Amino acid sequence: MATGKGKIDMNEEKTGQWQRRGFLGGALVAAGAAAGWVMTRLLPPPTPASGNAAKLDDRFVYDISEFEETAANLLLFEPAGEFATGVDQAKRLVFWSGQGIVVSGEKSMVIFSAEGARLKEWPLEAPTHCILPLGKESILVGYSDRYVILDGSGREQFKSPNLGRRTYLTSVAAHEDRLFFADAGNREVLICDRKSGDVLERFGKKDADRGNPGFNIPSPYFAIGIPPDGRLRVANTGLLRVETYTLDGRFVSSWGEPGMKIDRFCGCCNPAYFTLTPAGDFITSEKGLARINVYGADGKFKGAVAGPNGLVTDKELAKRACTDCTVGAGFDVTLADNGDVLTLDPYRKIVRRFHPKTVS
């Protein structure tokens, strides 16, 4: 549905992009632990039935109600305020040390103070798909098939070449002289030279020699990161797990299981986003059954930041997002210098802050 001249509803925009790119949507067949998968071509979300139209048999309704409440003893954080961003189609969020809280959207980037005051606002040439600070004086902004590096005043320092046909960047990580991009369009990780932007290598297809299982990416959620151990972590969302790779693309290990319980990943493709702590722990964000959790570096569940009842106001939208890849409902997540978890609600266009609970 159009939202105004030249502006497209976020869900419709994603649907069109994935249709043109020939993506497959995943659907979880049985409610609960993933009993099986049905892969089908992405179609626009169905029009709600009206009048005397037949209703869906209750046996096939995806019921998440019993998992919406998070036990208080599992919550490691508590709400610590929120602020409105006013960013059109707000999508990505990152904490930029020394600068502030960065929110990017359709064609703009805004930097906020910890209290939510606007500090800077820069125009961008295209919708942002990933952002990564490269120190206190530069930040990488990834568009669908290329990226730019901006300085602390928003001036362009570098612009990459086009990264290839069907490329659709969703996440980025940096290590020494290399940049690593998650390319959901080709279901690959691109390894680029940091100075030239040239693609040096790519991996992601099933590869027996490297032991790689292949990336199963049903929707435009494909997160990567590099913790202190210097190995790449990849959210293989269609397999509902996080995988570890060497920096030259060899599979090492994985963790994560499908299921509705709080220590598992549910729906068609999760975790949608993750960020890493200085100790190498994971803070994961799931769409559909929206929840933000904390896992150790070994993948062991530690506790929750926030559950569905603390994040979602539109419960029907969340239920549809559990089985429909075209529904976004993903909350990007980042970590502030003081240990607070920040998350972006793209529908209400707000940033929420969660503070670690005091251990008594």
Cα(108)–Cα(359) distance, rounded to whole angstroms? 40
Q: Check residue 343 and give its pLDDT.
A: 97
* Per-residue pLDDT tens over the stretch 277-334: 999 999 999 998 899 999 999 999 999 999 988 888 776 766 666 666 565 568 999 9
Does residue 14 form part of some domain? Answer: no
Does residue 96 form part of some domain? Answer: yes
Q: Check residue 347 and give its pLDDT.
A: 85
Residue type at position 326: T
Q: What residue has token string 């549910």? A: 266
Does residue 109 form part of some domain? Answer: yes
Does residue 11 form part of some domain? Answer: no
Q: Which domain holds residue 170?
A: 77-356
Cα(103)–Cα(110) distance, rounded to whole angstroms? 5
Q: Can you read off the two tokens belonging to residue 245? A: 């790779």
Does residue 61 form part of some domain? Answer: no
* Per-residue pLDDT tens over the stretch 233-257: 999 999 999 999 999 999 999 999 9
Cβ atoms of 274 and 299 within 8 Å: the answer is no
Q: CB neighbours of 353 closer than 8 A, spacing ≥ 6?
A: 79, 80, 81, 82, 336, 340, 341, 342
Does residue 47 form part of some domain? Answer: no
Cα(280)–Cα(306) distance, rounded to whole angstroms? 20
CATH number of 82's domain? 2.120.10.30
Q: Can you read off the two tokens belonging to residue 26? A: 């995943």
In three-state secondary structure terms, 93 is strand
Q: Check residue 289 and give its pLDDT.
A: 85
Residue 333 host element (H or E): strand 332-335
Per-residue exposure over 120-157, b if at least 16 CB sit within 10 Å of its own CB, e if not: eebebeebbbbbbbbeeebbbbbbbbbbbbbeeeeeee
Cβ atoms of 137 and 150 within 8 Å: the answer is no
Prediction pTM value? 0.81
Q: Check residue 13 and give its pLDDT.
A: 36
Q: Check residue 328 and give its pLDDT.
A: 57
Give the chain's end-to-end CA distance (angstroms, integer): 50
Does residue 8 form part of some domain? Answer: no
Query: How many Cα atoms occupy the beta-carbon half-sphere of 203 within 13 Å?
Result: 20
Instruction: State what percent of residues in the chain have pLDDT above 70.
Output: 76
| Stretches in the chain below the pLDDT threshold 50 | 1-61
Strands ordered across the beta sheet of 178-183: 169-175, 178-183, 188-193, 199-203
Does residue 57 form part of some domain? Answer: no
- What is the count of structural domains for the chain? 1
Q: Which of 92, 86, 166 is nearest to 126 (CA)?
A: 92
